[in-house]
Amino acid sequence: MKKLIATTVVAGTLGMTFLPITTFAAEPVKAQVTGKVERQLSAHYDNVSQDMIEEWKKDKMFKVFDHGNGNVDVIRKYPALQGMVFVNGQAVKVNEQGEYSMEVEVGEFNVEFREKDGKVIQKHKMKAEKGKKHNVDLINTILFSDLIESMEHNVPNKNTVISGTSSPSIVPEATDGGSGGSYAGPSVGQYCYTNQPVHCNRFNGLYSDNRYWPQTDARALNNFRYSDCDYNFSLYGCPSPFADTLCDGLNAQGKGVHDCSSVKAGWSMWFWPRNNN
């Protein structure tokens, strides 16, 4: 009776010995997703002085479109913060220049730009191709007038307790169409002094004339530059077309003035100028 011998031939010719061939699973094919992430405030003004326009052109955060004769469009750029960009549901690191990069597997992928509370502002669904770089820029533009307008409407409180001082005081609601909010702020064009009650430190910027101007006046944007509100627009990641929920410009939380002023140690919740004007 013949015996059957099971022999496994790995490879080669009879009479030669070979080492077993080991195979590995292929690495997943990748593609790269890159892009720029910015939040922008935009504004249009007429009859702006040429001196002011030239100063704006020197500001690296501004992109200025000078149409001549004082007619100008302006964009103020803010890099997005960490935790606002997601690729396939995974948070992506954004560098100081507002740029991101991430590898994805070939096939469908999505990029989301989210508010800090998780609400999706923009969503892009695309198909990644092998070895290719896909650019997806996320630009969220907000009108400066919309951001400021929500701070200028009166709220239905006849009196407001201003806290945060040793002797909280009650200040009547604004009724003259001035800077508004739930208590009387400065009127249009009024000069503000240190520690004067204001509805918002949005006009205490480095180049401010320390006067309150409505958002329809180009001086409002000039006074906004490097103010408490300007700095914290970036810090809070305010992407909404209206005041952020952390914004207390209307004293919605009963603290008397804009919360942006209290987010950093040493910043007054009353008016404090950053210059000597």
- Rg over CA atoms, the chain: 29
Select, from the ranges 60-69, 73-82, 244-253, the one with the highest average predicted confidence (pLDDT): 60-69
- Residue pair 222/205 in contact (Cβ under 8 Å)? The answer is yes
Q: What is the mean pLDDT of residues 111-138?
A: 88
Q: What does the chain come to in residues?
A: 277
Q: Report pLDDT for 135.
A: 94
- Tokens 């800077």 belong to 179
Q: Which residues, 6 or more positions from 134, have their beta carbon under 8 angstroms from its beta carbon?
A: 31, 32, 33, 34, 126, 128
- Bridge-based pairing of strands 120-128 and 72-79 is unpaired
Average pLDDT score over the chain? 74
Q: Which residues, 6 or more positions from 52, have their beta carbon under 8 angstroms from its beta carbon?
A: 218, 219, 222
Q: Which of 96, 35, 44 is nearest to 66 (CA)?
A: 44
Query: Between 242 and 176, where is the model more confident?
Result: 242
Q: Which of 173, 142, 149, 148 is nearest to 229 (CA)?
A: 148
Is the model's pLDDT at 126 over the cut of 80? yes
Q: Report pLDDT for 226.
A: 93
Q: What is the pLDDT of residues 3-20, one digit of tens each?
A: 444 433 344 444 555 555
Q: What is the pLDDT of residues 241-271, one digit of tens each?
A: 444 444 554 444 554 444 566 555 565 667 8
- For residue 76, give both structure tokens: 């103020």
50-54 contacts: CB < 8 A, separation 24 or more? 52/218, 52/219, 52/222
- Bridge-based pairing of strands 107-114 and 120-128 is antiparallel
Query: Between 149 and 44, where is the model more confident?
Result: 44
Q: pLDDT above 90 covers what percent of the chain?
A: 33
Domain boundaries, the chain: 30-142
Q: What is the pLDDT of residues 186-233, one digit of tens each?
A: 778 989 888 887 767 888 999 999 998 988 999 999 999 999 888 877
Fold for domain 30-142? Immunoglobulin-like (2.60.40)
Asked which of 85-89, 137-141, 158-162 is least confident by mean pLDDT, the reply is 158-162
- For residue 141, give both structure tokens: 């533009």
Q: Report pLDDT for 32.
A: 92
Is the model's pLDDT at 113 over the cut of 80? yes
Report the distance separating Cα 68 and Cα 50, nearest Å: 9
Q: Which residues, 6 or more positions from 176, have their beta carbon under 8 angstroms from its beta carbon?
A: 184, 187
Report the distance separating Cα 136 and Cα 263, nearest Å: 33
Report the distance separating Cα 94 and Cα 127, nearest Å: 22
Report the distance separating Cα 198 and Cα 211, nearest Å: 11
Is the model's pLDDT at 84 over the cut of 70? yes
Report the distance separating Cα 91 and Cα 101, nearest Å: 11
What is residue 25's DSSP assignment?
P
Strand partners, 134: 33
